[in-house]
Chain A
Amino acid sequence: MSFVSIRLPSAGSEVIDRARPVTFSWNGKKLKAFTGDTIASAILANGDHIFGRSMKYHRPRGVLTADFWDPNLFVQVDDEPNVRAAHRLVENGMKVTSQNVWPSLKYDVKAANGLVGRFLTAGFYYKTFMKPAKLWPAYERILARFAPGGEVDLDTPHGYYDKRYAHPDVVVAGAGPAGLAAAIAAARAGASVMLVEHEHQVGGHLLWGSDDDRAAAAGMLTDARNLGVEILTNSTVTGRYEDNWLGILQRNHHIAEERLIKARAKMLIVAGGLIERPYVFAGNDIPGVMTSGAVRRLITMYGIKPGTRAVVLTANESGDAAVADLERAGVEIAEVVDGRTGAFVRSAEGSGRGTNHRLSAVTLSDGTKIDADLLVTAVGWTAPTSLLNMSGDRPVYDPAAARFFPGKTPDNVLATGGMVGDGTHDQLVAHGAATGTLAAGRAAVVQHRLQAATARAAAVDGPEPDYPEDLRTPLGRDPHPALFRSTTHGMVDYSEDVSSKDLFGAAAEGFDSVELIKRFTTATMGPSQGKLETVNTVAVLAEARGETIAEVGTTVWRPPYAPITLGALGGRVFEPVRVSSIQSYHESKGATPILAGQWIRPEHYDDPQAEVTNTRTNVGITDVTPLGKLDLKGPDVPKLLSLLYTNKWMQLPIGGVRYGIMCAEDGVVLDDGVTARLGDEHYLMTTTSSGAGGVWNWIENWLQTEHPDWQVHVTPVTTGFTSINVAGPNSRKLMGRVVAGVDLSNEAFPYMNVRTGTVAGVDDCVMWRIGFTGELSYEIQVPAGYGLHVWEALLADGKDLGIAPFGLEAQRVMRLEKGHFIVGQDTDGLSKAPTTGMTGLLKLDKDDWTGMPEVKWALEGDYPHIVAIQPTDPNCVPEEACQILRGPESNEIVGRITSSRYSPTLNRSICLGQLSPEFAEAGTELTVLLVNGERVTAKVMKHHAHFDPEGERLRG
């Protein structure tokens, strides 16, 4: 039977705008539709009714529910796969293609799977392709072609996704009559309200109801707008977490592709309505079998005639209304099967090939076979209690109503509407309104408590209001026959191609828990998130095991309510990027930027090797602003430093600088840096760039919890200063030209000392004689606003001294030439302090320092050593993290390369590495395994420093 949907005459109920036509393409064909059409209604209006093929058996599939949850309508739109065709609105120029078809929708070779379907039972792939394991890559290549889904275009530019934080009093999830009424009542009671609806229009089932229904929806929408309710359509409350932390996915944002709203709601009202269940019988996935909701939506909202001759299986008002709608649309009603009388549909069959495949006949429970191209089922409802599950609720099955109802929700979550009961329109609206008023009353109490609990907030007015009790009149429950599966087997999960037969088989294999059955068969795990499938799965399992539905129970719905794109989750990153006050110079010189933690730094200006050579020969300056800096004031600073560092601090003179290693309580190296004493009770501590924040927290913890009696004030000043390192043989000469008020001679200002003075006219600069690079060097900390000025003054005054800036890479090469380890690169999460080789700094005779016991015990045993290593081949630079092996023939790992570079100063490769103690002796021959598999020899050096081990340049 060939069938073509047609567009019905225009009606006031429709959501399409026939004055605004839209042109799009479907599998290469140019088609016309109207603004407001979904992709599905647009394609149906053009006479096609097959949208794609099913995941496992590649059965042709058409409309089932015609809404967001329809499992059969996933299409590719331009470069975007897995678009829900009955939800996404059609747009001019859209290129829509079917997915899951190969080579085409019409001739799909994998449909052969359908013929051998009896072999593809649950677990088929796991069981069949498990052994032998070495063949898996071959299996995988072939099976990947059978994997469902559209095609991802890797060249697609990243869209703009946004995030927003909101603090509404009340969030209402679902804008049917009860949700609308709740939002209006809550807003009337003074609450700020967000109303979230996942369809494009508010109104819920009123949209496909009577003219009075639609008038009621329009009236409530106007009221809600006038009351300032924030209405988010095409948006979903995706999850509810502790204390009503909600994720709301907004798809209708005017700029962003999608926006993820993170809302802390004082109250959540769940008004998700009911979702219609499909019926399980042989042939229930043949195109032309639809739910009553699907035909009602298609006829009323989109003006689509969904068939020509229909059988309707109805067990409720929705099915009865569908009969009336079909008659109005000119569909011939061949038979109405009333499920309330015990009649049902036994099976359905289709005919026609390729894209013409369509329902052709329906067999009823009494054996009568009726020709029809449309079978409409109205067999019951599922309450989508996901958000209530996420609030701790476990739904309870009511056999008389043949559906699950919410159990007990926490005080800050209320449910209303069809989810909690049945009623007339007025009853639903009254329940919703009572819920909204209750929510607003409770939100006011929560607001009072929040304010009262915040010491610095404005004083609260009056005593706390009474917490409103739930005095709502409950909605009734209409009786409903239990219609889940016919006497034949059919699809339970359309999107995963799981049939009732698969579930019976799994039960026979011994799976007795619904949670395990779900994972074994993957029923309910597809993109519908179990909204259509869960209750049928439970019912079929109950039948297979001879238990009641209540005994089997249900699976727990977890977040998200509906799938979320990764773009929305990634979204906009709210993390500041930090740059120093010299950044404009770096950019103007075309420095290659590098992201280091939160900072953007210049990696190099031109050739980093030349930058090294110039610094070692003349003088160089580098921007080291990200270096962590903490200003410490108070009489007890020496005690704090003694606690945090392994070495001694009580005798540091004013003007002195000392290096320290900081350990965590497990003895592992946490940070290192130099600290200067600027005044009697004034110290300046430096930390590693990446450790600055963590060390600050660490200090506050010790001061606040273990030693609250110590008088120390900590101020982070990392960004308060711009830090410039001036290094090289000419650095003292250069400093002499810009510094005023400080004697720079080696006698007056020796190595490991600090002075405060004026640099290039800028007062209050701190100058340190320290040297990560191993050269005579001064680190200048300039009040940040003058950083660029001092930098440019140095460059100008140093011209004849051969000055040039150097970047992070040159600095790293020079520190490696000097063998300075970097915490977190040359040490790791297991490196206790002795590994650094700085055992002279580990003062076990002090009373206390963090990690001291572990360091003491470590020193008594074996530990890895950081050593300098030089490959035999001076041109071979082993990659960092290369393994060091026990011997040329061995595969046993005894260490690894932690840092490696080519040294332009020594004209050879140089490394630091960690080694087992037996290999750490100077002169030991090592075998290094390169990434390419080659083994090369290397030698352990006597000193960490490859260059100037005595430090003569540094102290000169």
Chain B
Amino acid sequence: MLLVPCPNCGPRSSQDLTYGGESHSRPDPKTATPEEWRTYLYLRDNPSGWLVETWYCSSGCRRWFKLERHTLTGELRDPILPGSKTGVASDEATNIQGGTK
């Protein structure tokens, strides 16, 4: 189980958090076409590599935040609260248990 670095609570087991999925922006509901809206609802990039995703610290500080996860290696980096300019660990992976930080 991944150790997910919450910007407030620090690294916590992923079961303490709720996965919010791939981060994506919401189209204007007034003007969105069905194609645009359903792309927002259902289509995900699912890349092999770094992916920006959202997590909710549901058993901790109850903040939604974003981070980047490498879908091949499982590395996590750059947790960031909405509204913040920079993350906690700059752009290096928060590789808590690895040799390189």
> Nearest CB to that of A412 among chain B residues?
B97
Q: How far is the CB of A472 from chain B (nearest CB, A)?
A: 15
Q: Which of A243, A266, A706, A708 has the most CB of B within 10 A?
A: A243
Q: Which residue of A lies closest to B74 (CB)?
A: A242
Contact: A704 with B20, CB < 8 Å? no
Interface residues of B in 63-80 (CB under 8 A from A): 63-64, 74
By size class, the interface of chain B is 35 or more
- In the assembled complex, the Cα of A852 lies from the Cα of B37 at a distance in Å of 11
Range, interface on chain A: 35 or more
Could you list 27 A-B pairs, sorted by A, with CB under 8 Å?
Answer: A241-B1, A243-B2, A243-B97, A245-B13, A266-B97, A411-B98, A412-B98, A451-B10, A453-B11, A453-B88, A453-B89, A455-B7, A455-B8, A456-B8, A467-B99, A469-B99, A665-B26, A700-B62, A700-B64, A704-B82, A708-B83, A847-B30, A848-B29, A849-B29, A853-B34, A854-B37, A857-B34
Within 8 A of A (CB), among B31-61: 32, 34, 37, 40-41, 54, 56, 58
Alpha-carbon distance between A25 and B41 when the two chains are bound, in angstroms? 64
Whether A264 lies near B99 (C-beta < 8 A) is: no
CB of B100 to closest CB in A, whole Å: 8
Give residues in A with beta carbon < 8 Å to B: 241-245, 264, 266-267, 410-412, 442, 446, 449-451, 453-457, 464, 467, 469, 665-666, 697, 700-701, 704-706, 708, 847-849, 852-854, 857
B86 CB–A CB distance under 8 Å: no
Q: Within the assembled complex, what's the spacing in Å between the Cα atoms of A410 and B98?
A: 7
CB distance from B24 to the nearest CB of A (A): 11
Chain B positions within 8 Å of A449 at CB level: 96, 101
Residue pair B1, A453 in contact (C-beta under 8 Å): no
Check A242–B88 contact: CB distance below 8 A: no
List of A residues within 8 angstroms of B54 by Cβ: 705
The one of B18, B29, B96 that contacts A853, using a Cβ cutoff of 8 Å: B29
Partner of B30, one of A245, A464, A467, A848: A848
The residue in B8, B9, B37 that gathers the most chain A C-beta atoms within 10 A of its C-beta is B37
Q: Which of A245, A264, A705 contacts B64 (CB 8 A)?
A: A705
Contact partners of B32 in chain A: CB under 8 A: 853
Report whether A454 and B97 are in contact in the complex, using a CB–CB cutoff of 8 Å. no
Residues of A within 8 A of B41 (CB): 665-666
- The answer to whether B94 and A453 have CB atoms under 8 Å apart is yes
Residues of A within 8 A of B29 (CB): 848-849, 852-853
B70 CB, min distance to chain A CBs, angstroms: 12
Q: Which residue of chain A has the shortest Cβ distance to B41 in the bound complex?
A: A666
Contacts of B3 in A (CB 8 A): 242-243, 264
A442-B95 Cα distance, complex, nearest whole Å = 13
Instruction: Name which residue of chain B comes closest to A852, CB basis.
Output: B29
Dominant SS among interface residues on chain A:
mixed
The CA-CA distance from A451 to B10 in the complex, in Å, is 8
Q: How far is the CA of A129 from the CA of B3 in the complex (A)?
A: 48
- Asked if residues B56 and A701 are in contact (CB atoms below 8 Å), the reply is yes
Q: Are A697 and B37 in contact (CB under 8 A)?
A: no
Q: Which residues of B contact A242 (CB under 8 A)?
A: 1-3, 74
Residue among B82, B88, B98 having the largest count of chain A Cβ atoms under 10 Å: B98
Q: In whole Å, how far is A880's beta carbon from the nearest beta carbon of chain B?
A: 30
Q: How far is the CA of A806 from the CA of B50 in the complex (A)?
A: 56
Tell me which residues across on chain B come within 8 A of A848, comparing CB atoms. 29-30
Instruction: List B contacts of A453 (CB < 8 A).
Output: 5, 10-11, 88-89, 94, 96
B74 contacts which chain A residues (CB < 8 A)? 242
Minimum CB–CB distance from A176 to chain B (whole Å) comes to 25
**Which residue of the partner chain, among A411, A852, A853, A854, contacts B97 with CB atoms under 8 Å?**
A411
CB distance from A400 to the nearest CB of B (A): 30
Measured CA separation A631–B52 after assembly (Å): 32
Asked if B56 and A411 make an inter-chain contact with CB atoms under 8 angstroms apart, the answer reads no
Closest CB-CB distance, A441 to chain B, in whole Å? 11
Residue from the set A245, A266, A853, A857 with the largest chain B CB neighbour count within 10 Å: A853
A665→B42 CA distance, assembly (Å)? 11
Report how far A700 CA is from B65 CA in the complex, Å.
Answer: 11
Q: How far is the CB of B14 from chain A (nearest CB, A)?
A: 8
| B20 lies within 8 A of A701 (CB) | yes
Q: Which 4 A-B pairs have the closest CB atoms?
A: A454-B10, A412-B97, A245-B1, A411-B99
Give Cα distance in the complex from A706 to B7, angstroms.
Answer: 19
A852 to B54, CA, bound (A): 23
Contacts of A697 on B, CB cut-off 8 Å? 18, 56, 58
In this complex, which of B5, B10, B54 has the most chain A Cβ atoms within 10 angstroms of its Cβ? B10
Chain B: which residue is nearest A453 at the CB level?
B10
**Closest chain A CB from B92 CB (angstroms):** 12
**A410 to B, closest residue via Cβ:** B98
CA distance A849 to B2 in the complex (A): 35
Closest to A467 in B: B99
Residues of A with C-beta under 8 A to B13: 245, 264
Residues of chain B contacted by A411 (CB below 8 angstroms) = 97-99
CA distance A243 to B2 in the complex (A): 6
A630 vs chain B, min Cβ distance (A): 13
Given contact pairs A410-B97, A453-B96, A456-B8, enumerate 12 new A-B contacts (beta carbons under 8 Å): A242-B74, A264-B13, A267-B97, A411-B97, A411-B99, A412-B97, A449-B96, A453-B89, A453-B94, A455-B7, A665-B40, A704-B64
Q: A453-B88, A848-B29, A848-B30 are in contact. Are A700 and B56 (CB under 8 A)?
A: yes
Q: What A residues does B11 contact at CB under 8 A?
A: 450, 453-454
**Cα of A453 to Cα of B12 in the assembled complex, Å:** 11
How far is A241 from B74 in the complex, measured between Cα atoms in Å? 11
- Expressed in whole angstroms, the Cα–Cα distance for A848 and B58 within the complex equals 27
B-chain residues with CB within 8 Å of residue A700 when the two chains form the complex: 56, 62, 64
Closest to A696 in B: B62
Closest beta carbon of chain B to A694's beta carbon, Å:
10
Q: Which residues of the partner chain A approach B88 to less than 8 Å between Cβ atoms? A: 453, 455
Residues of chain B with a CB closer than 8 A to A849's CB: 29
Q: Find the A residue at minimum CB distance from B28.
A: A848
Taking CB atoms, residues of chain B closer than 8 Å to A854 are 37
Cα distance, A481 to B94, chains bound together (Å): 46
Do the beta carbons of B97 and A446 come within 8 Å of each other?
Answer: yes
What's the nearest-Cβ distance from chain B to residue A714, in Å?
A: 9
Most chain B CB inside 10 Å of its own CB: which residue of A244, A453, A457: A453
Q: Give every chain A residue within 8 A of B7 (Cβ-Cβ).
A: 455
- With a CB–CB cut-off of 8 A, which chain A residues contact B96? 243, 446, 449-450, 453
Whole-angstrom CA separation of A442 from B98 in the bound complex: 9
Which residues of chain B are within 8 angstroms of A853 by Cβ–Cβ distance? Answer: 29, 32, 34, 37
How many whole Å from B95's CB to the nearest CB in chain A?
9
A244 to chain B: which residues have CB within 8 Å? 97
Least distance between B54 CB and chain A CB atoms (Å): 7
Cβ of A467: which chain B residues have Cβ within 8 Å of it?
A: 99-100
Which chain B positions have C-beta within 8 A of A442? 99
In the bound complex, residues from chain A placing their C-beta under 8 Å from that of B5 are 453
Chain B residue at minimum C-beta to C-beta distance from A446 = B97
Of all chain B residues, the one with the shortest Cβ separation from A702 is B64
